Structure 1
Amino acid sequence: MTVTTTVPTLTDGVVTLRAHSLDDADAIVDQSRDPESLRWTTVPRPYTREHAVGFIEGNLAAWGEAGAKRSWAIEWTDDGGDARYGGTIDLRPGAAASVGELGFGLHPDARGRGLMSRAVRLVVRHAFATPVWGVPVRRVHWRAIVGNWGSRRAAWAAGFTFHGTLPGSHPDPDGGPDALDTWMGSITPGDPLSPQTPWLAATPAEGERVRLRPWRIEDIDAVEVRNDPEHWMPSRSIIRRENFATWVHNRQERMAEGTGIDWCVADVESDRALGGITVFSRGGPITDVAELGYQFFPSARGRGAAKEAARLAVAHALAPTSEGGLGLRRLVAETAADNEASNAVLRSVGFVEFGREHAVDRLADGGWGDGLYWELLPGGTTP
């Protein structure tokens, strides 16, 4: 294998990947002491300039070692026209010489500018075009601690396919006794270096009584105990105080996967959470058909909040993509036949019942109830 100590410079005209320099040391210290870096990485603590110098020298030396990682400094131009150190990205040897593992981190000043996804594309292109460790690289993996949305979004924007969550697979950066879960993804030659699925967002909308907005962790204070019949909604979907953080995280993951949008329905005057409404798909990313679902806390019922929230969500779902909507062709819903309030909400926004499944819901008294199927097409037409 031919080993070189020359670090290839990669650029797309906005981001440049180059060899690390001792001039980067102070910026590396700043980055490594930043709370977000400490939260998601296992950098030494406390981080000193000596650590930065060792990091730089180690990265440069690795280019002369067969089978070692390949690291670049990320350089960008700030608003004043000055070239600045923006972070580090490296390609590490994986399970075989034909597999690489991506690692990266940004300086705080470089975040929120789309720079990392550009850097990822540059490294991926280089990996697939160059026998990095003596043979062509056929797959590049990405991994991040669950909750590191910045890392996930960079990988998503660069075309990585998300493979799921691996429990207990990363040491706790804070030194805790428990291993943390990680997200995992990869990309192969020929895959487009662009998002493979939509990343949906809870776009705010406001009516006379309620507003739709993203959920916040502090909304837990508004969560109320529900006493609805068990067959009205799957237990895993119910908002509860005891699992609220997990519930919100799962909804954020659905949006990142393009399989659903979940809004908090809040009082338009107090902004207090009244319940939630969702547009989602049961079979992969939303395309042209999706399902409507909703739930409201007991104190929020009987005031028209659910009907107005449904109207706002339906409007977003059916609005053309050119206007920021989902551009859906059809919406569907499922309810229990005896859930009169929920059925009234669907009728109020134009849904039409198109089917009934008999004796499908187990009732508290041991009997069986029917389930209803609903649909809504733009213009209120039905096949």
Structure 2
Amino acid sequence: MTGLPFPLGVPVLTDGSVTLRAHTPADIDPVYEMATDPAMQRWTAISVPYRRSDAEEFVTRIIPRGWDTAQGLSWAIELDGRFAGNVDIRGPGPVTDIGFALHPWARGRGAMRAAVDLAVQYAFSEGGKEVVHWRSQVGNEASLRVAHACGFSMHGLQPGLLYERGRVHDAWTASIRFGDAPMPKTRWRSSLIETADLRLRPLEERDLDRIVEACNDPLTRRYLSWLPRPYGIAQAEEYRADSIWQAATGSKEIWAFCDVATDELLGTVAVMGLRGVDDGSGEVGYWTHPSARGRGLTTAAVRAAVEHAFSAAGLDRRRLTLYAAASNGASNAIARAAGFTVFGTQHLAEPLGDGSFDDLVGYELVRS
């Protein structure tokens, strides 16, 4: 902190590719373009509608005031000589927050990770900060990926933490402390697997309708008794968001298994419990869309997931378990066809959708 007025007091930070600098009037138009981008309006508290005069106020008044009062340290991100976005360290004192946004043209190039690293390290070394907090609406995968890549520790979901444009939102939260290494704390569990007939990939927004269809099917509801009632798009969005968070924390990897030609979701398969007491084990789970049943597709997907789970280049598991209700003939057949063998039965341990209880058959498979 130099004590000089804006813009003289704004340090220029660079890694040789990405540069953080003071905002100038030339940034007003690209700030306006960025702020009216649909993705930014979806995931941030930016005003809607957003006018060019709002961008002018932000660049020429709000940002200088933040620097001059030490209430907020905001840099313009520059990439290839062009304005690429903003990164902000917000609030006085040793505990602070970070916010960031990237212009659409600059996305997908690693610029934000570099910008956040530069801002955070300055906050620690020169700004007197001890901890920097990150928060975002649940579901904002792009922002979560930046925080994860920069070494933030993932904390969890905080209900009702954000209030944006008249609505309360749940938030994902994370933080980084002085002295923390600026590198991922966990391995992001997200991979693409292809077989002759199937593609296993992370869940995407276009899968939501198919998820809703599957999770309202009577057979699905009988054996997944914990599914919310009713089950609509909002519940499917929560399911997908949870899959992203679980991937980021390295706790679970879940795939949509899809027709290799159409990429239409046929079901899901997951390996869970990846960060338990035994870090060499995992549990396999799956469900199938009604339109895909009886064709051997789920068995093929489970086999592909198991191969990945046992691979040293994949999840590097030593042992996998799988559980199925005794009356669920299809699920038990899939387990056996995928090579699992029974190790025991828990009597009346599995709640069913009608309120009754079924025996729960336990299967295991050990890496050979």
Q: Which bin holds the TM-score, normalised by the shorter protein?
A: 0.7 to 0.9
Matching residue of 1:80: none
Of 86, 90, 93 in structure 2, the residue corresponding to residue 92 of structure 1 is 90
TM-score for the superposition, normalised by structure 1: 0.83
Matching residue of 1:371: 360
Matching residue of 1:161: 153
Deviations 1:321-352 (A, max 9, x none): 2xxx2222222212223433322222222222
Cα distance change on mapping 1:157 and 1:53 into 2, 3 Å:
same
> What secondary structure, in the 3-state scheme, does the structure 1 residue paired with 2:112 have?
helix
Cα distance in 2 for residues equivalent to 1:376 and 1:309:
16
Does the aligned pair in 1 maintain the 2:86–2:100 contact within 8 Å?
yes
Cα distance change on mapping 1:275 and 1:285 into 2, 3 Å:
farther
Q: Which amino acid aligns with 1:112?
A: G
Name which of structure 1's ranges 25-34 and 44-53 shifts more when overlaid on structure 2.
44-53
Cα distance in 1 for residues equivalent to 2:65 and 2:274:
50
Matching residue of 1:63: 67
Matching residue of 1:104: 100
Q: Are 1:227 and 2:218 an aligned pair?
A: yes
Q: Which amino acid aligns with 1:63?
A: W
Question: For residues 145-184 of structure 1, what are the structure 2 equivalents within 5 Å?
Answer: 145-172=137-164, 175=165, 177-184=166-173
> What secondary structure, in the 3-state scheme, does the structure 1 residue paired with 2:330 have?
helix
Q: Are 1:124 and 2:120 an aligned pair?
A: yes
Question: What is the aligned length?
Answer: 360
Cα distance in 2 for residues equivalent to 1:308 and 1:64:
62
> What secondary structure, in the 3-state scheme, does the structure 2 residue paired with 1:236 have?
coil
Taking only the aligned residue pairs, the percentage that are identical comes to 38
Cα distance in 2 for residues equivalent to 1:145 and 1:278:
24
Of 33, 47, 50 in structure 2, the residue corresponding to residue 30 of structure 1 is 33
Matching residue of 2:323: 334
Cα distance in 2 for residues equivalent to 1:258 and 1:239:
30
Does the aligned pair in 1 maintain the 2:158–2:173 contact within 8 Å?
yes
Cα distance in 1 for residues equivalent to 2:293 and 2:230:
15
Does the aligned pair in 2 maintain the 1:260–1:285 contact within 8 Å?
no
Does the aligned pair in 1 maintain the 2:225–2:352 contact within 8 Å?
no
Name which of structure 1's ranges 26-35 and 274-283 shifts more when overlaid on structure 2.
274-283
Of 248, 261, 264 in structure 1, the residue corresponding to residue 240 of structure 2 is 248
Matching residue of 1:7: 10
Cα distance in 2 for residues equivalent to 1:107 and 1:41:
13
Name which of structure 1's ranges 277-286 and 8-17 shifts more when overlaid on structure 2.
277-286
Shift of 1:112: 0.9
Cα distance in 2 for residues equivalent to 1:194 and 1:329:
27
Name which of structure 1's ranges 110-119 and 56-65 shifts more when overlaid on structure 2.
56-65
Q: Which runs of 5+ in 2 are unaligned?
A: none
Does the aligned pair in 1 maintain the 2:325–2:358 contact within 8 Å?
yes
Q: Which amino acid aligns with 2:299?
A: K
Q: Which runs of 5+ in 1 are unaligned?
A: 78-82
Question: For residues 35-54 of structure 1, what are the structure 2 equivalents within 5 Å?
Answer: 35-54=38-57
Cα distance in 2 for residues equivalent to 1:378 and 1:318:
6
> What secondary structure, in the 3-state scheme, does the structure 2 residue paired with 1:277 have?
strand
Shift of 1:284: 5.6
Cα distance in 2 for residues equivalent to 1:204 and 1:302:
22
Shift of 1:366: 8.9
Q: Which amino acid aligns with 1:111?
A: R
Shift of 1:285: 11
TM-score for the superposition, normalised by structure 2: 0.86
**Superposition RMSD in Å:** 3.0
Q: Are 1:236 and 2:222 an aligned pair?
A: no
> What secondary structure, in the 3-state scheme, does the structure 2 residue paired with 1:63 have?
helix
Q: Which amino acid aligns with 2:295?
A: R
